[in-house]
Amino acid sequence: MRTDDDNWDITTSVGQTALFVAASRALEARKPDPLAVDEYAEVFCRAAGGDWTVAVEGSDPEHPLQTEFGEHFVNFQGARTKYFDEYFRRAIDAGVKQVVLLAAGLDSRAYRLPWADGTVVYELDQPRVLAFKRDTMDELGVSPTAERREIAIDLREDWPQALRSNGFDPARPSAWIAEGLLIYLPAAAQERLFAGIDALAAPGSFVGVEEAVPMPADAFDAKRAEAHASGDENAFFNLVYNQQHAPANQWFGARGWNAVATPLHEYLTRVGRPVPGQDSEAGLMTGTITLVAATKR
Ligand code: SAM
């Protein structure tokens, strides 16, 4: 169960969710018609080893990513990666040169997107998560395609101050992402996160957010009890808060941003991937998700 000051490495608690989405991106990249190719996702999973290697090799038919749920989850991650890759390409085209990956996890965009010269990518996450990523990339001998600055911090702490101390300039436009993050934060921390972004974002800035509407409390409590009884501390429902401070398009829309919200199901259809049945295990999750992109006027 979560506590206010919990911490983790890449294979425990919220840390291993970064490997789970990386494994999904690796499986998407192996398809003949991938929505997005993250060539480093598989590398991270192999570096973690054990079940994570099995996950990307697809060699265990019982693995959660090989089930019907898993098939939809991989499509979801492929779509999400494509959506935010294109979002960042728009920011690059607009000349933005400060990029902030909130909860960077194993997001490899600092190593694979065509950043303009002089771009700085700030990666914020817990210290041991960032260390795993750095060690893996160093071992592989891969260099980032921008200047990459790690900020090892918990996002429930004073991360705006840490960002400024590392050279972030609030007077220049920036592009932000909160992908696969909000569900792991209580509503009050989500509010501070949005407020922190807004306070540091100059006109012309971009923000990209993945968000989920909370499940009904009784359904969530049942899932949480199931997760608890399973004895698996890393079970998804032991890690999430099931809270939402405010829909991002409304919150940013009310503060001088032009925001567009795209329900994940709409986006899946747009990119030619099936939408899971609404009462299926996958559909109950993906149906709650919205992808949001906004620019500050
Ligand atoms: N954004 C990455 C992506 O989409 O591949 C990683 C997503 S992963 C599902 C969740 C990430 O959020 C993990 O890397 C975890 O360490 C990070 N995270 C969650 N809560 C955090 C917090 N309070 N402070 C710092 N990082 C946090």
- CB within 8 A of 233, min separation 6: which ones? 1, 12, 13
- Label the pairing between strands 98-102 and 147-152: unpaired
The reported pLDDT for the residue numbered 167 is 98
- Report how far residue 244's alpha carbon sits from residue 291's, in angstroms, rounded to the nearest whole number: 14
- How many other β-carbons are positioned within 10 Å of the β-carbon of residue 278? 11
Amino acid sitting at position 48: A
User: Cβ < 6 Å from ligand 1: which residues?
Assistant: 14-15, 17-18, 21, 103-107, 125-126, 129, 154-156, 179-181, 184
Helix axis angle, 15-29 relative to 41-48, nearest 10°?
A: 130
The reported pLDDT for the residue numbered 1 is 81
Model pTM score: 0.98
Distance of CA 185 from the midpoint of ligand 1 (Å):
10
* 3 state SS of 35: coil
- CB within 8 A of 196, min separation 6: which ones? 159, 160
Point out which residues pair with 52 in neighbouring strands.
none
Pocket test for ligand 1, best of 125, 210, 285 (most atoms within 8 A of CB): 125
Given a contact cutoff of 8 angstroms between Cβ atoms, the answer to whether 116 and 95 are in contact is yes
The reported pLDDT for the residue numbered 209 is 98
Distance of CA 179 from the midpoint of ligand 1 (Å):
8
The reported pLDDT for the residue numbered 113 is 98
Average pLDDT per consecutive 10 residues, the chain (297 residues; last block may be shorter): 94 97 98 98 98 96 96 98 99 98 98 98 98 98 98 97 98 98 97 98 98 96 95 94 97 98 98 97 96 98
Q: What is the DSSP string of 43-80?
A: HHHHHH-THHHHHHHT--TTSGGGSHHHHHHHHHHHHH
Query: What count of residues does the chain have?
Result: 297
The reported pLDDT for the residue numbered 274 is 98
Nearest atom of ligand 1 to the alpha carbon of 210: 4
- How many other β-carbons are positioned within 10 Å of the β-carbon of residue 14? 24
Burial class (CB in 10 A: 0-12, 13-18, 19+), 209: buried
Q: What does the CA dihedral 154, 155, 161, 165 come to, rounded to 10 degrees?
A: 60
Nearest atom of ligand 1 to the alpha carbon of 178: 1
The reported pLDDT for the residue numbered 63 is 95
Could you say which DSSP state residue 275 is in? P
Q: What does the CA dihedral 189, 191, 194, 197 come to, rounded to 10 degrees?
A: -60
Distance of CA 176 from the midpoint of ligand 1 (Å):
14
Residue among 138, 99, 143 nearest 122 (CA): 99
Pocket test for ligand 1, best of 7, 8, 14, 134 (most atoms within 8 A of CB): 14
Residue closest via CA to ligand 1's atom 17 equals 103
Distance of CA 269 from the midpoint of ligand 1 (Å):
27
Given a contact cutoff of 8 angstroms between Cβ atoms, the answer to whether 189 and 160 are in contact is no
Say which residue the tokens 């705006």 belong to: 160
